[in-house]
Structure 1
Amino acid sequence: MDYVEIEGFKTLKKVNLKLEPLNILIGGNGSGKSNLLSFFTFLDVLYHQSMQRYIVARGGVEAFLHKGAKVSHKIRFLLEFDGGKNGYGIELEKGVDGIFVTDEDLIYKGKHWKVGGTYSEARVREHTIGRGLYIRKYIQSCRRYHFHDIGLNSPMKGGSNVDDDTLYLYSDGSNLAAFLYHIREKHPNRYNVIRGTIHSVAPFFNDFVLEPDRDAGTVRLQWRSEEFEAIQGPNAFSDGTLRFIALTVLFLQPKLPTTIVIDEPELGLHPFAIAKLAGLMRSATARGAQVIAATQSADLISHFNPEDVIAVDLVDGESRFQRLSSNNLDIWLEMYSLGEIWKRSIIPQGQLQY
């Protein structure tokens, strides 16, 4: 994605944001980082024609309009990709009985094709030929991930189907075992890179034991350690190790999503693992993917350049975004890392609020 405009969505009153291959959002709680990320979830919801159900389940229209219906009555999105060649725009308006699509455009080289009139759901997924094919393909390959649930009942610890759950990694990692199994069987060299990366952070880890239950058609995330012969299950991993495994698979998978959106990927990771994570994120962009991540970790941003970082501040209930620049920071970067500069408030934007 090259550019995005968002109006009237949560704390995003009016945002015009140019996006680069790497986009690391920093800022305090409530600044609006997660609201920008939730735009990508909402885009997926619009595509799959489940907007009405999604909005009702999350507090109704008031929870999505900027400062509520007394201030805003419309939400508008515009995004451009493929070097600005293709684009998609949609406008939603609050009505008496909810919110409706009032304008929807497919865009090619600045020319707009109207999808139609007023609808209860977006219709972009119904356009399977011509320009719609390219726009559908992009939206489908823009995925948001969250690997925060690593408790006893974590989705990553359950079984997944070795035939049906292998096309792409699910947003919560619930098909992690089947996806890894598919990579091992179809892309052994890539599997070995993943295995070696995990071992570099968790030296006790030897290899996964991915043996499908042929009767059930499922496989679980079992593994073998360097020290013990017995096969162990996912509960034997620490929280940080399990999360790092999911992140490694995400960023090193054979076919990357066009855009990877992820919130606080560094949670629970050792500083050495955070450094590895930063390398994984950079490697994904080198392979053609775009990464949009939100963080409050000074350790993580220390591994990036100022131009990779977007500071987010909440001013009068409105989120404001500013990409950092090396200008005026060069002399400080000779003495401190970017994260240390941020912690010392030398960078005034995106500061944590205490």
Structure 2
Amino acid sequence: MILTVAVEGYRSLRRLVLPLDRLTVVTGANGVGKSGLYRALRLLGDVAEGRVVAALAEEGGLGSTLWAGPETISRRMTRGEVPVEGAVRRERVALKLGVAFDDFGYAIDLGLPVAARGSLFNRDPEIKAEAVWAGPVLRPANTLARRTGPSVTVLRGRERHVAIGDLPPFETMMTHAADPEGAPEVLAVRERLRAVRFYDHLRTDRAAPSRHPRIGTRTTALAGDGGDLAAAIQTIREIGDADALDRAVDAAFPGAAVAVEERDGLFHLSMRQPGLLRPLGPAELSDGTLRYLLLLAALLTPRPPPLLVFNEPETSLHPDLIAPLAALIGEAASRSQVVVVSHAASLVDRLVEEGAEAVHLTRPLGETLAEGVEPPTWSWPSRR
């Protein structure tokens, strides 16, 4: 389980260290930084996949994602006694991301590149430092693997050894030093981050992949766009909790049932509802009904991941679907850690009733803060 997530220098997240519970719902008004926190978590997944530089490029590059406010915000600025102004920078420009599990921690520090003559990639951020450590807080004594510049050292027994001496600045030690023999802790952290499932783009538009039949194979993790919905539903029915699936459908749509048929190699999803003489196909379902089925397939996965992260799952749902959705999320939290980002008060309240820890974000002076939350102790790896 992830106990702490830390972000520094990313969008409105100047310095945010946030504790996570088994079920955490992050809420707040529009523009307070909820999506920024969600994207920061996704970037950690991109680190584990070795594509964090590409992911930042897709967001407009490092310059577009860095904190745009002053390096420090004084008490007088906060009280409105003086205007918000910049000063001479004392620290290096950096975008930092980190997580602490109950046994290991990981952090990465990305900074401005050193321009290389003749290269067209001088806008790419460079990885300046990384670390994997034992326990909740990074200290020199509990550092298991450390990257500074091109060098990666790992702890073997009681001695530190150079594992890699020439790691390029655009590649992470998470993909190049994750050795089951020499650095098993790095491998363990990488695989946990790779296993996190993110859902923020479950399509329900008229051209959504889930509205059309497609070839089906056993699907233990619903795709990010929901295109393999029929296969995911059938997988739950065959190797997961079919009774829970039927109960969840009935809780949202009393008397309804979903089924999957295979015709000429293609999987066809249908939904039978009381009063109708024939079942409806996905193309005929409302956006809200289809979205609920997509969320159901993600939450009832027969292979629960260590962490499920949902961004505004309530989009297009009828108010009557909020309660059954919250119940599904609450049940999923008994199998996986779950983080939900939402501005819907009705869903937040229901999730709190399900045992969720609610984190309310605010944004005074442009900086995202967690209201009333005591930040856990945190330390970043040094670049030296």
Q: Provide the TM-score with structure 1 as the length reference.
A: 0.81
Alignment correspondent of 1:318: 367
| More displaced stretch, 154-163 vs 29-38 | 154-163
CA contact 1:147–1:243 (8 Å) conserved in 2 = no
CA contact 1:24–1:309 (8 Å) conserved in 2 = yes
CA deviation vs aligned residue, 1:51-105 (integer Å, no higher than 9, x gap)? 3332223222222111189977211112111x2x111111111124120111122
CA contact 2:249–2:256 (8 Å) conserved in 1 = yes
1:210 match: secondary structure: strand
- Alignment match of 2:131 (pick from 105, 108, 111): 105
Whole-Å Cα distance in 1 between the matches of residues 110 and 206 of structure 2? 40
**CA radius of gyration, larger in:** 2
Q: Which runs of 5+ in 1 are unaligned?
A: 326-354
Q: How far does residue 231 in structure 1 lie from its aligned partner after superposition?
A: 4.3
Alignment correspondent of 1:221: 269
CA deviation vs aligned residue, 1:235-278 (integer Å, no higher than 9, x gap)? 21111111111112222222222111111111222223101111
CA deviation vs aligned residue, 1:291-339 (integer Å, no higher than 9, x gap)? 11111212112221597111111121110013579xxxxxxxxxxxxxx
CA contact 1:157–1:220 (8 Å) conserved in 2 = no
Q: Does 1:243 align with 2:311?
A: no
Whole-Å Cα distance in 2 between the matches of residues 170 and 253 of structure 1? 11
Alignment correspondent of 2:310: 262
Alignment correspondent of 2:206: 152
Alignment correspondent of 1:207: 258
Whole-Å Cα distance in 2 between the matches of residues 274 and 318 of structure 1? 30
Cα distance change on mapping 1:168 and 1:307 into 2, 3 Å: closer
Aligned length: 316
Q: Does 1:139 align with 2:193?
A: yes
Q: How far does residue 160 in structure 1 lie from its aligned partner after superposition?
A: 4.4
CA contact 2:6–2:97 (8 Å) conserved in 1 = yes
Q: After the TM superposition, which parts of structure 1 deviate over 4 Å for at least 4 consecutive aligned residues?
A: 68-72
Q: Does 1:123 align with 2:176?
A: no
Q: Does 1:12 align with 2:38?
A: no
- Alignment match of 1:271 (pick from 319, 338, 342): 319
Alignment correspondent of 1:172: 225
Cα distance change on mapping 1:279 and 1:140 into 2, 3 Å: same
| More displaced stretch, 29-38 vs 278-287 | 278-287
Cα distance change on mapping 1:231 and 1:267 into 2, 3 Å: same
1:2 match: secondary structure: strand
Letter in 2 for 1:176: L
CA contact 2:231–2:267 (8 Å) conserved in 1 = yes
Cα distance change on mapping 1:180 and 1:155 into 2, 3 Å: same
Alignment correspondent of 1:345: none
Whole-Å Cα distance in 2 between the matches of residues 179 and 238 of structure 1? 19
Alignment correspondent of 1:94: 112
Q: Which runs of 5+ in 2 are unaligned?
A: 72-85, 116-121, 153-166, 375-384
Alignment correspondent of 2:146: 114
CA contact 1:312–1:319 (8 Å) conserved in 2 = yes
Question: What does residue range 61-76 of structure 1 map to in structure 2 within 5 Å?
Answer: 61-67=62-68, 73-76=93-96
- Alignment match of 1:80 (pick from 80, 100, 110): 100
Whole-Å Cα distance in 2 between the matches of residues 87 and 149 of structure 1? 34
Question: What does residue range 275-354 of structure 1 map to in structure 2 within 5 Å?
Answer: 275-287=323-335, 289-303=336-350, 304=352, 308-322=357-371
Q: How far does residue 121 in structure 1 lie from its aligned partner after superposition?
A: 2.6
Q: How far does residue 114 in structure 1 lie from its aligned partner after superposition?
A: 1.4
Cα distance change on mapping 1:65 and 1:159 into 2, 3 Å: farther
Whole-Å Cα distance in 2 between the matches of residues 6 and 99 of structure 1? 16
Q: How far does residue 200 in structure 1 lie from its aligned partner after superposition?
A: 2.2
Over the residues paired in the alignment, what is the CA RMSD in angstroms? 2.5
2:368 match: secondary structure: strand
Whole-Å Cα distance in 1 between the matches of residues 328 and 372 of structure 2? 22
Whole-Å Cα distance in 2 between the matches of residues 66 and 195 of structure 1? 46
Cα distance change on mapping 1:209 and 1:178 into 2, 3 Å: closer
Whole-Å Cα distance in 1 between the matches of residues 287 and 44 of structure 2? 30
Whole-Å Cα distance in 2 between the matches of residues 195 and 264 of structure 1? 24
Cα distance change on mapping 1:231 and 1:307 into 2, 3 Å: closer
CA contact 1:103–1:118 (8 Å) conserved in 2 = no
2:108 match: secondary structure: strand
| More displaced stretch, 165-174 vs 19-28 | 165-174
Alignment correspondent of 2:155: none
Q: Provide the TM-score with structure 2 as the length reference.
A: 0.75
Whole-Å Cα distance in 1 between the matches of residues 5 and 45 of structure 2? 15
CA deviation vs aligned residue, 1:4-58 (integer Å, no higher than 9, x gap)? 1111111111011111112111111110001001112111222222233322232
Cα distance change on mapping 1:323 and 1:285 into 2, 3 Å: farther
